[in-house]
Amino acid sequence: MHPISEKLLQWYQQNCRDLPWRKTNDPYAIMVSEIMLQQTRVNTVIDYYECFMKTFPTLQALANASEDDVLNLWKGLGYYSRARNLHKAAHFITHQLGGIFPDKIDEVKKLPGIGDYTAGAILSIAYNQPCAAVDGNVLRVISRLFGIDTDITLSQTKKNITMKVEDMIPSHHAGNFTQALMELGAIVCTPDSPACDHCPVLNFCIAFQKDLTSVLPVKKKKEKPKVLKFFALLFIHEGKILLTRERKETLLKDMWGVPLLDLCEEEYIAERAHMLTGVTGESIRKVGKARHIFTHRIWEMEVLLCAARTNGTTGPGYYWFPFEALDELPIPTAFMRVLKIGQKYIV
């Protein structure tokens, strides 16, 4: 066994956190946890994971659910395409693969939303197969351990690091090794202040020996997120609120939310809002601002409260919902912020 792997496995046995997805080797449960953990912190994921597995304990249960039910459970976790892909993957396995979770890397990678990392994680953790799972944590740990100073966003660097990980995977302990490496990155070899004094592989670490822990990994600076500005329209009619899934901005495609209008001069707001929604607004007034930060975009929304003059008709794709029904709908956090501002005017 590679000496680094040996140290890591020993350390993991004594130090691993007690997380709910570590109590199973069901590939479906591992897939759910890994997909939830993409872009989301462990502490946030724990409750969502437990609730999700309680509601959809099997692939078949998830495949039989409606997309709205799945999205509703995902509400607040963000990056909703993950939930849609998870649902599609459950469908695919249930209906195309006879309900048997695939155990070959090429087949797992064909599932919607599953890339190299997630496939490697599922196969190593659930089936103990010698597959590398290289995420941001692993890129950082391996760059430091081996003193790799090329940009980790480059595919060649990622390939190089993947090969290093593959060389270290111990036979029969692939799952624990994968989790140990991730765990080291999560709790010891952290981005800003690695706890080298507590690191089980300190003696092998080139970054530590050469005092490069603050320099490695090398990573190209992220582009600044683009700021998009809208009016968020809170149309009210007989205690109901106007919602839609139609939107030019594709980021939260198919999720329920209030209509978003491109900014314009105040005198044109009513006319443009009518053109967009088919609803005429009266006494339109600004009641607050909401901001939501996504990975590559920032939405800045000026919230407009509009009493609707209508007999209930709306343009295609726009619907009235009683305020109490909002809990049952998949409404992402960006829109929940707007609705919170409007709440005191609506009920």
DSSP one-letter string for 98-154: TTPPP-SHHHHHTSTT--HHHHHHHHHHHH--------HHHHHHHHHHHT--S-TTS
- Minimum CB distance to ligand SF4 smaller for 187 or for 251: 187
- Minimum CB distance to ligand SF4 smaller for 7 or for 87: 7
Minimum CB–partner distance for residue 190 and ligand SF4 (Å): 8
- Which of 34, 107, 266, 302 is catalytic? The answer is 34
Inter-CA distances, 158 with 116, 134, 180, 294, 345, Å = 11, 8, 19, 25, 52
- Minimum CB distance to ligand SF4 smaller for 197 or for 267: 197
- Minimum CB distance to ligand SF4 smaller for 137 or for 162: 137
Residue labelled with tokens 């997380």: 19
Nearest alpha-carbon partner for 256 in 266, 244, 270, 239: 244
Mention every residue, 6+ apart, whose C-beta is less than 8 A from residue 275.
none
Torsion of CA 104, 109, 113, 119, to 10 degrees: 60
Q: How far apart are CA 258 and CA 187, in angstroms?
A: 40
Whether 34 is catalytic: yes
Minimum CB–partner distance for residue 151 and ligand SF4 (Å): 18
- Minimum CB distance to ligand SF4 smaller for 121 or for 205: 205
Minimum CB–partner distance for residue 2 and ligand SF4 (Å): 15
Minimum CB–partner distance for residue 169 and ligand SF4 (Å): 17
- Minimum CB distance to ligand SF4 smaller for 190 or for 333: 190
> Is the bond preceding residue 191 a cis peptide, omega within 30 degrees?
no
Inter-CA distances, 201 with 98, 163, 226, Å = 44, 19, 40
Minimum CB–partner distance for residue 210 and ligand SF4 (Å): 10
Residue labelled with tokens 């999720």: 255
Minimum CB–partner distance for residue 144 and ligand SF4 (Å): 4
List residues near ligand SF4 by CB under 6 A: 141, 144-145, 188-189, 194, 196, 199, 201-202, 205, 207-208, 213
Question: What residues are annotated to the active site?
Answer: 34
